[in-house]
Structure 1
């Protein structure tokens, strides 16, 4: 059981009614709170919740339409995403309770101040290295459209400026990260055909490839619904076409790819997690055609080259700089 869920269950009498659990972990919490309903934007967590509690968790970037008597927001990593979630639930809970739960190392104590616009927050519990806060919504705020919280920036590419639109909670929100910047400088000689932007975030790499190689079929894949929504906005803002998918890692990707381009994540919330990338490296060959290329950028300290060579074949370093390396390998 996730420690945040354990803290909620210490106060289980507060959550026996119709309560929305926003950003809930994929544990047994729904089984312990029979009238609760989940709101999830992580495709892997959603798949596990659906398998165990069919029909009891909503997937997407918008709160479910159904009514609820109170809401618990599980503190995400990004402050602006917390603001969006709290606003989305408080807008529908005038005179009722909103709770915020999170780990101390995730910044829950500071994040509790984000409850101030809705009323006077109070701490209900502190246990399992977590805290639980509560506020009674004095006056329901106007719901903020998600798109109004988007950040936009332009990249000066050789083919013309590329407009990037990112939503709260998306990796490198509102700016280009150094790894993707290095990879953008080395998009030459990519195989034609069907390319996958794995862990697409705001869609920077996939959109840049489609701009440079318009005949390439581009698929963008991310585990996070906010990232997928951002990628769709980025493609639309530049008049580009691509298939955007949400799914739990490379297993959700199409087969028969000519190339996989990726700046893969290695964090889940505040925790370090290499599982999605390591799974990609083990299974990339299954998704690539013969001669298909994996091109990956990663922090130099991450020892991915031996794993690539074990599962895909000879791996070369195409470029490196500012603490990052670009690895390239082709399926034999």
Structure 2
């Protein structure tokens, strides 16, 4: 089904914005329904921080990276925004520093992304050349100028002692569910431990600062979050910690652990998807040693107990607070 990525490319496809001969930066990159033309395939340098869409673009033969760095300016930028305002504005500001002055910048998002308010805000300090709506999404385009980065770069608050940025889970404060899980960490959680959906490393930091596990393995699908985790855990024994840019819903783990801790995601865009948590549970069950244990936190409304009972011998609710439940499951 066509979506906001298809809308993003419409001004190029209908000739309103010429592609030209140079390289174009494509941030938040995703595939389009009909596939990319040879001209687009040759022109695009794609950035996608999420492991799943990154693998999809890689499979399609696109030039894709988890983070793009370039010593030369791009001829234009295409930006597919998501649900996080701070991340969206940071992407646009960053693109402005990476493309030539006066070069075209195209920005698109679906109706829940805030693309229309972003267009309105940007029109206060830079001229918008055009806009169109299709596939329940809107694209607008403009010419790059210094005012873009100046007006969209903003200071962001991170939890004390940690590095985070817009678009990361619970970037501005410690999530109540993760805090609940952290309260129940104790010295029985030892040996080889995995942190599934580790984000920017809060739970692993709690574990490492209070106890002495043999090894800690962080699995995270969001590249930028994992890079932040590396910085947040840089003071701990590097030989003790391993990091994996990994989609736990699609890629096998291939290791066995004594314990797994996790606060699994349950959203794709703005839609609740409990199946994501179920996939995390199934992967956790396959990744534990005999008599290994899973400690997980979840929103009280999410029906994970059935999946836990199918894959574990004993399931116990340890705590329930602030709309979250803490579950322990034994192999």
Asked if these proteins are the same fold (TM beyond 0.5), I'd say yes
Once the two structures are superposed, residues 70-103 of structure 1 have per-residue CA deviations (whole angstroms, 9 ceiling, x without a partner) of 1111112212211221121111321111111001
Unaligned runs of 5+ in 2: none
Query: Partner of 1:292: helix, strand, or coil?
Result: strand
In the alignment, is the contact (CA less than 8 A) between 1:316 and 1:328 conserved in 2? yes
Can you list the C-alpha shifts for 1:97-124, whole angstroms capped at 9, x where unaligned? 1111001122111122453586222442
Correspondence for 1:196: 194
1:44 corresponds to which residue? 52
**Is the counterpart of residue 16 in structure 1 residue 22 in structure 2?**
no
Pairing 1:305-316 to 2, within 5 Å after superposition: 305-316=305-316
2:55 matched to 1:57? Answer: no
> Which residue of 2 is the match for residue 160 of structure 1?
none
CA distance in 1, matches of 2:207, 2:6: 45
Q: Is the 8 Å Cα contact of residues 106 and 270 (structure 1) preserved in structure 2?
A: no
CA distance in structure 2 between the aligned counterparts of 1:9 and 1:319, rounded to whole angstroms: 49
| Structure 1 CA distance for aligned equivalents of residues 18 and 69 of structure 2 | 18
1:279 aligns with 2:286: no
Q: 1:287 to 1:65 in 2, by over 3 A?
A: farther
Q: Given that residues 98 and 137 in structure 1 are in contact (C-alpha distance below 8 angstroms), is that contact kept between their aligned partners in structure 2?
A: yes
Deviation at 1:6, TM superposition (A): 2.5
Moved more, 318-327 or 79-88: 79-88
Q: 1:3 to 1:214 in 2, by over 3 A?
A: same
Q: CA deviation at 1:223?
A: 0.5
Is 1:134 the counterpart of 2:137? The answer is no
Q: Which moved more, 1:296-305 or 1:179-188?
A: 179-188
TM norm structure 2: 0.87
Q: Which runs of 5+ in 1 are unaligned?
A: 155-162
CA contact (8 A) 2:186 2:211 kept: no
Partner of 2:104: 97
- Contact between 1:30 and 1:36, CA under 8 Å: does it hold in 2? no
Q: Deviations over 1:106-159 (max 9, x none)?
A: 211112245358622244201221111111113376799x9x9664333xxxxx
Structure 2 CA distance for aligned equivalents of residues 20 and 37 of structure 1: 5
Distance 1:112 1:119 in 2: 10
Secondary structure, counterpart of 2:329 in structure 1: strand
- Give distance in 2, aligned partners of 1:207 and 1:312: 27
Q: Which residue of 1 aligns with 2:159?
A: 153
Aligned mates of 1:219, 1:84 — CA distance in 2:
29
Name 1:106's counterpart in structure 2. 113
Contact (CA 8 Å) 1:26, 1:46: kept in 2 or not? no
1:203/1:234 contact within 8 Å kept: yes
The whole-number CA distance in structure 1 between the counterparts of 2:204 and 2:109 is 34
RMSD: 2.6
Between 1:211-220 and 1:168-177, the stretch displaced more is 211-220
Q: Which moved more, 1:63-72 or 1:128-137?
A: 63-72
- Determine which of 76, 80, 84 is the counterpart of 2:82: 76
Please show how residues 222-261 of structure 1 align to structure 2 within 5 Å. Answer: 222-236=220-234, 238-239=235-236, 241=238, 242-249=241-248, 251=251, 253-261=253-261
TM-score (norm 1): 0.87
Deviates more, 1:274-283 or 1:98-107: 274-283
Q: CA separation in 2, counterparts of 1:48 and 1:252?
A: 16
Cα shift readout 1:34-54 (whole Å, capped 9, x = no counterpart): 332311111111111111115
